[in-house]
Every structure is written in structure tokens, then in C-alpha cells.
């Protein structure tokens, strides 16, 4: 056999092995509800974004009920910079005055959401973009007057999300909520956690720009592979977290507490991390589990 043919055969064999390994996971995943939070931090590279969208598409084709919740932190910072507005955070939450709120809506609903919808549609599985204001999906209220228009979600009404899923579309949700006095900026991690709770999701996946939770935030060698719910609570009480990890870990704890079976943080900048997480034996990133 020519060496070229042998190489082709090896590649084909490797593909067959991957499919064989994926088979039990595909069986296990059918009909399961997965909420994927796609962080703005991992959306910088269009090539990688296209891979993430392709992976989401594949999950859908495998029969999973996929709900996408997205952030857009970096794009919001850029617009604020262009508008000469300040970028301020407190405990990982964006301080949101009225002008910042308009920028948040413009970027999340007007840009990032529609870009994801377009990309999913191009892959073939039609998506529907909504914000938490549509169908009053996120009933919101102010968190703290010092944070301005940052909102919590008092309740998620899942009717619109369920309708979209029943009609076989992929719901893509921008994390903006509304209350009687207008719109609220909901941290996308918080929004994803609440959606997972309300949908009784089997799995909640955070795609971000780091491999997972590091014990020392500056040292990727200290990646934590697995944490139980009580260990997650201890971590929150120790107050060693900072930046965007604070709302992430808080929402993860809340989701576990509300009964979501499994939560993972994985690197959205790693090629096909979603597929690796769901369809292979070795997990990646940090996994958070019930005690
Ligand atoms: N202990 C830690 N381990 C890992 N990352 C940490 C830790 N503490 C803080 N971080 C920071 O958290 C960041 C991820 O959160 P960030 O809010 O920036 O992104 P995101 O939530 O994925 O995107 P978006 O906010 O746009 O939805 C990482 O880039 C990292 O700098
Ligand atoms: Mg964040």
C-alpha cells in the first residue's frame, strides 16, 4: 500500500474511533436540555466563533434541546470607549447608568445576538434571537442603586423559549431584562444560570476565554478539574474570586442549588471544546457537581 493510502486509512480509522467513542454519549444526550452560555470574552475570533456555532448546530442535530445565552462584555467595552463613556465594574458586575444601558442594548440585542442568529442560520438550523424583554422572559428588578440599571431576574418565564424549541428553532438569548420601569442589564452568567434553573436543564455550559477556574487566577497550571456544590459554596465564602468569575461562580452555585445536574466552565477559544465536553470520555475545563 502506498504511504499516501496508509495515511488516508489512518485518518479514516481515527474518525471511526471518534464516532464510536461518541456513540454512548450521543445516545445519552438525546432529548436532554443544555443551556450554553457563550461569553463575549470568547467571541473575538470569527473563525472560532464559527466553530462554536457549528458545534451548537451538531448538538441540535444529535437531538439535544439547546438554548444559547450570550454575553458581549468585550464588544460593550469597545462601544463605550468609542462613545467616551467609562467602563466600570463592581464585584464583576458592570456599573450601568442610562447611557451605558443604551450601549449594552445596542451591542447585545442589535449586534451580537443577530450575528449569532445569522451564523446559526447559515449552518442550516434556524435560530430565533430574543432578549429577556421578549415575552417578559426575564422579569427583572434593580440589584443595587449603586450599580444603576444592573438587574436580577426575579423570575424566568420559559413559555417563549419552550415555544421556540417546540418549533425546532434554536433560541438565542441576549441578557437584557425588563421591569415596570424599563430595561435592565443582566450579567449573562446570571441569566444563563436562571434559564438553566427554570428549564430544569440537564447541563449548563459556560464557554469563556480561560480553561476553567484556576485556584490562582494568574496561573493556568492551577486549573481545578472538579468541585462539588459545597466546595463551590466554600469558594464563594472565601472571597478569593475576582472579575468575571464572581458572577459565574455565584450563578453556578445557585444553579446547582436549584437542581441543575451538572455545570462546566470550558474554554470557548479551544477548538470544538463543546463537542469534546459532551461527546468524549475525558471531560475538559472545570466541572461542578452536586455533592
Ligand atoms: N480564578 C480565576 N480563574 C480563571 N479566570 C478568572 C479567575 N478569576 C478571574 N478570572 C477572569 O474571569 C474572566 C472570564 O470572565 P469574563 O466575564 O471576562 O468573560 P465571560 O463571562 O466569558 O464573557 P462575558 O462577560 O462577555 O459574558 C477570565 O478572562 C479571567 O480573567
Ligand atoms: Mg462575564
| pLDDT tens readout for residues 154-207 | 999 999 999 999 999 999 999 999 999 999 999 999 999 999 999 999 999 999
Residue 176 inside a domain? The answer is: yes
Is residue 174 situated within a structural domain?
yes
- Give the Å distance between the CA of 62 and the centre of ligand 1: 30
In a domain, 250, yes or no: yes
Cα 195 to ligand 1 centre (Å): 20
* pLDDT (0 to 100) of residue 2: 67
* 230 part of a folded domain: yes
pLDDT of residue 87: 97
Q: Whose CA is nearest to atom 19 of ligand 1?
A: 41
- Note whether residue 25 is domain-resident: no
Residue 268 Cα: closest atom of ligand 1: 22
Measured CA to CA, the distance from residue 228 to residue 30 in angstroms comes to: 26
Residue 188 beta carbon below 6 angstroms from any ligand 1 atom: yes
Q: Would you say the CB of residue 255 lies under 6 angstroms from ligand 1?
A: no
* Residue ranges of the chain whose pLDDT lies below 70: 1-2
Per-residue pLDDT at 121: 95
Q: Note whether residue 8 is domain-resident.
A: no
Report how far apart, in Å, the C-alpha atoms of 70 and of each of 12, 175, 227 are.
35, 7, 24
Cα 197 to ligand 1 centre (Å): 22
Say how many domains are in the chain: 1
Contact 213 CB / ligand 1 (< 6 Å): yes
Take atom 10 of ligand 1 and give the residue whose Cα is closest. Answer: 245
| Ligand number, closest to the Cα atom of 73 | 1
Residue whose CA lies nearest to ligand 1 atom number 21: 39
Ligand 2 geometric centre to CA of 147 (Å): 16
CB 256 within 8 A of CB 232: yes
Domain residue limits at 283? 30-289
Q: Name residues with Cβ closer than 5 Å to ligand 2, which is an ion.
A: 244
Q: Are the C-beta atoms of 278 and 219 separated by less than 8 Å? A: no
The bound ligand whose nearest atom lies closest to the alpha carbon of 43 is: 1
In a domain, 17, yes or no: no
d(CA 236, CA 288): 13
Ligand 1 atom closest to 75 (CA): 26
Q: What is the CATH number of the domain that holds 261?
A: 3.40.1160.10
Amino acid at each position: 500500500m502506498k504511504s499516501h493510502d496508509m495515511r488516508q486509512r489512518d485518518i479514516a480509522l481515527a474518525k471511526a474511533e471518534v464516532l464510536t467513542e461518541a456513540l454512548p454519549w450521543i445516545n445519552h444526550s438525546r432529548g436532554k436540555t443544555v443551556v450554553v452560555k457563550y461569553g463575549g470574552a470568547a467571541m473575538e475570533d470569527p473563525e472560532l466563533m464559527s466553530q462554536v456555532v457549528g458545534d451548537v448546530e451538531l448538538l441540535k442535530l444529535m437531538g439535544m434541546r439547546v438554548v444559547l445565552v450570550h454575553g458581549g462584555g468585550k464588544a460593550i467595552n469597545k462601544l463605550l470607549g468609542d462613545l467616551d463613556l467609562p467602563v466600570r465594574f463592581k464585584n464583576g458586575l458592570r456599573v450601568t447608568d442610562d447611557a451605558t444601558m443604551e450601549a449594552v442594548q445596542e451591542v447585545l440585542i442589535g449586534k451580537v445576538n443577530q450575528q449569532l442568529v445569522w451564523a446559526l442560520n447559515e449552518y442550516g438550523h434556524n435560530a430565533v434571537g430574543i432578549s429577556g424583554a421578549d415575552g417578559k422572559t426575564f422579569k427583572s428588578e434593580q440589584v443595587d442603586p449603586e450599580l444603576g440599571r444592573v438587574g436580577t431576574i426575579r423570575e424566568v418565564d420559559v413559555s417563549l423559549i419552550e415555544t421556540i424549541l417546540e418549533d425546532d428553532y434554536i433560541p438565542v438569548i441576549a441578557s437584557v431584562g425588563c421591569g415596570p420601569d424599563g430595561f435592565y442589564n443582566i450579567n449573562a452568567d446570571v441569566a444563563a444560570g436562571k434559564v438553566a434553573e427554570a428549564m430544569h436543564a440537564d447541563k449548563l455550559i459556560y464557554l469563556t476565554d480561560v480553561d476553567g477556574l484556576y485556584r490562582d487566577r494568574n496561573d493556568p497550571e492551577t486549573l481545578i478539574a472538579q468541585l462539588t456544590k459545597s466546595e463551590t459554596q466554600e469558594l464563594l465564602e472565601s472571597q478569593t474570586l475576582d472579575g468575571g468569575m464572581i458572577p459565574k461562580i455565584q450563578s453556578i452555585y445557585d444553579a446547582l442549588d436549584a437542581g441543575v445536574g451538572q455545570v462546566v466552565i470550558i474554554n470557548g477559544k479551544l477548538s470544538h471544546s463543546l463537542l469534546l465536553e459532551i461527546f468524549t470520555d475525558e471531560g475538559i475545563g472545570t466541572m461542578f457537581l452536586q455533592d
